[in-house]
Each structure stands twice: as structure tokens, then as C-alpha cells.
Amino acid sequence: MHPKFKRPRAVALEDGRTPATEYLDFLAAWVKKPRQTASVVPSSRYLARLMVRDIDPADGRVIELGGGTGVFTRAILATGLSPEKLEVVEINPGFARSLRRHFPAVSILEVPAQSVSGHAAGERGSYQCVVSGLPLLAMDKGLHRAILAEAFVMLRPGGSFVQFTYSLRPPVSQSVLDALDLDVTRVGQTVRNFPPATVFRFTRRGE
């Protein structure tokens, strides 16, 4: 091969994986359980940065729901948060094994998001943020209510639940928000994701 036309090498991610490997892992999970995975491609680093931008590495613990291939996990750790302050919930066994391999200092919990309080290392009411990569648009209102209620059991006063969606509107109905006494605000949107995504922050009313 002529030196001017060298074949480009795959660019490794921070944990040694390549974007192609991550894509194939995500595609395989989608084929197996499309409602659980919800997208055929992992989230972009641009979406990840938007999701974690308000995390204070010097502050309390963080829970990530739906760790997937670790896109948000890497972004959370890139804020400077200690791995010992992060717990990642992932019920897909393949993703969970991969997360443990690539993030050995992070606690990976293979439990449903609506029962995380019984398995988390930190005290209830002590977490600064819940970062959610769960496909809420594929879930019903009852599950929305259960997941959010559990998240706010873990969150301290002023803590927030951060969720992305492929819609321009919040993925949780007003009736669920009213039942849990929650407010939702739009954090931002990125078109540098496939599909384009919007990020919302949920907080307790009056906080």
C-alpha cells in the first residue's frame, strides 16, 4: 500500500474500547431486547457531557441508571468524581460484565431501577444526582412513577434526576409529576447525537 494511503486505525476510547466495538455491543443488545435498549446506537459524548454537566466531583455520591456500554459512566468519571462515589445500575448481564471489566473501581448493580435503594452503598437521601439512560419512552406510567419515586428516595434535598429523551417534551406525564410533587426543567438539546436528544432535570417542588 502506498504510504499516502495508509488505512486509518480505530480510535480507542479512554477505557481501551473502540467506537465500533461499542456500537456492535449496543446493536446486539437492541436486537435481543429492543424495548429495553430503545436505540440501535449508544449515546454520543456530546449528549453525555450535557447529562453530567452539573455534577460536582467534590460533592455527594451519584447513581447512574442504565449504564449500557459506559458512555455516561466515562463522562461522570471525567468530571473528577471518585469511582468509589459512583454506582451504576445495569440489568443486561452482558453490559454489566463489560462495565465491571472496564470500570473495576465502580460498583455495578444488576438490579431493577425501581428497587435500587435496597442495594446501594450510600445512605438514602444522600445522593447529589441520578443520571438516567433508561428508555422511559418505552415504559408505562406505572414504571415511570416507581423509578422516579425510588430515585428521589436516594436523592438528598436539592438533588436532581437527569434524563434524556428523543422527544422535545419530557418523557414523564404531568400526572406522574403531580403525584410525586416534582418539577421538570429543560437542560438543553444536542443534534450531535443519533437520534437528536433533549435532556431534562427533575427536582422536588420548592427545592
Q: How confident is the model at residue 42 (pLDDT cuts 50, 70, 90)?
A: low
What CA–CA distance (Å, rounded) separates 150 from 89?
13
8 Å CB contact between 151 and 161: yes
C-alpha distances in angstroms, 124 versus 1, 138, 155?
60, 28, 7
Model pLDDT for residues 63-89, shown as the tens digit of each residue: 999 999 999 999 999 999 999 999 999
Give pLDDT, residue 194: 81
Per-residue pLDDT tens digits for 164-201: 999 999 999 999 999 999 999 999 999 988 889 999 99
Number of CB atoms found within 10 A of residue 129's CB: 27
Is the pLDDT reported for residue 40 higher than 50? Answer: no
Question: Which pLDDT does position 44 carry in this prediction?
Answer: 87
Domains assigned to the chain: 9-204 (3.40.50.150)
Mean pLDDT of the chain: 86
